[in-house]
């Protein structure tokens, strides 16, 4: 299977996927990354892709007249690589109906909280501020909402009294990277069905 990964930051989830494919081989893992896309330049995630010798593309919202034009341009850039599955690994933009028309049901996101708790761009900070005793990460299919699509897998992380946002986020990311690598590999190797809010991996 062909994967396109979308990033907006340090790309450690991307790196975990790259390492998993390198270790198991594309056949063993069930997929290989064919391109990496971003919504901004100059991020470590793109540098990781370039070091791995992968094609990259950037589509910045501000380069387009409307959000819808950006959405269409992003979909086109992804489609050029003919992915079977698209993975948002810290991609910090909400895609629109054009992108979902093409990749809905084949677009997976990882979120650093236990959805439906603490959706949105500050899930770690929100869980901490709320005083949650456990939080974690969620890998889910992307639908037309914000972090609302069918949940595939979740991992639990305890919140410690001394945690600040970055310490907690780093601990979440340790679990998240493993969860994402496991889920993407199983989706690619086994195939899956989405039945309402239920995801069945064969
Ligand atoms: C991940 O925790 C992701 O869930 C969140 O931002 C982080 C991205 O980390 N949206 P990285 O860029 O993969 O290191």
Find the 11 Cα to ligand 1 centroid distance in Å: 7
Question: Per residue in 55-104, pLDDT tens?
Answer: 999 999 999 999 999 999 999 999 999 999 999 999 999 999 999 999 99
| pLDDT at 158 (0 to 100) | 98
Question: Per residue in 99-142, pLDDT tens?
Answer: 999 999 999 999 999 999 999 999 999 999 999 999 999 999 99
Pocket of ligand 1 (CB under 6 A): 7, 9-14, 45, 89-90, 110-112, 173, 176
111 has catalytic annotation: yes
User: Which residues are CB-neighbours of 33 under 8 A, at least 6 positions away?
Assistant: 3, 4, 5, 14, 17, 18, 21, 49, 52, 54
Has this prediction a pTM greater than 0.95?
yes
The answer to whether the annotation marks 4 as part of a ligand binding site is: no
| pLDDT at 199 (0 to 100) | 98
Q: Can you tell me which atom of ligand 1 is nearest the CA of 16?
A: 13
Average per-residue pLDDT for the chain: 98
Max Cα-Cα span within the chain: 47
Find the 169 Cα to ligand 1 centroid distance in Å: 9
| pLDDT at 160 (0 to 100) | 98
CA atoms in the 13 A half-sphere facing the CB of 165: 9
């Amino acid at each position: 299977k062909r994967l396109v990964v979308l990033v907006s930051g340090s790309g450690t989830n991307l790196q975990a996927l790259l390492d998993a494919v390198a270790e198991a081989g594309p056949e063993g893992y069930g997929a290989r990354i064919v391109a990496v896309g971003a919504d901004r330049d100059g991020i470590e995630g793109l540098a990781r892709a370039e070091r791995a010798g992968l094609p990259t593309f950037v589509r910045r919202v501000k380069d387009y007249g409307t959000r819808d034009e950006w959405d269409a341009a992003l979909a086109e850039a992804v489609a050029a690589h003919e992915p079977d599955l698209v993975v948002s690994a810290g991609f910090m933009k909400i895609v629109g109906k054009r992108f979902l028309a093409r990749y809905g049901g084949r677009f997976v996101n990882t979120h650093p909280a236990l959805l439906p708790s603490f959706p949105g761009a500050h899930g770690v900070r929100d869980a901490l501020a709320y005083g949650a005793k456990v939080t974690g990460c969620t890998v889910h299919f992307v639908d037309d909402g914000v972090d609302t699509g069918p949940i595939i897998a979740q991992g639990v992380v305890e919140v410690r009294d001394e945690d600040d946002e970055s310490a907690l986020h780093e601990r979440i990311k340790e679990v998240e990277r493993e969860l994402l690598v496991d889920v993407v590999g199983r989706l690619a190797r086994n195939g899956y069905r989405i039945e309402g809010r239920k995801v069945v991996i064969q």
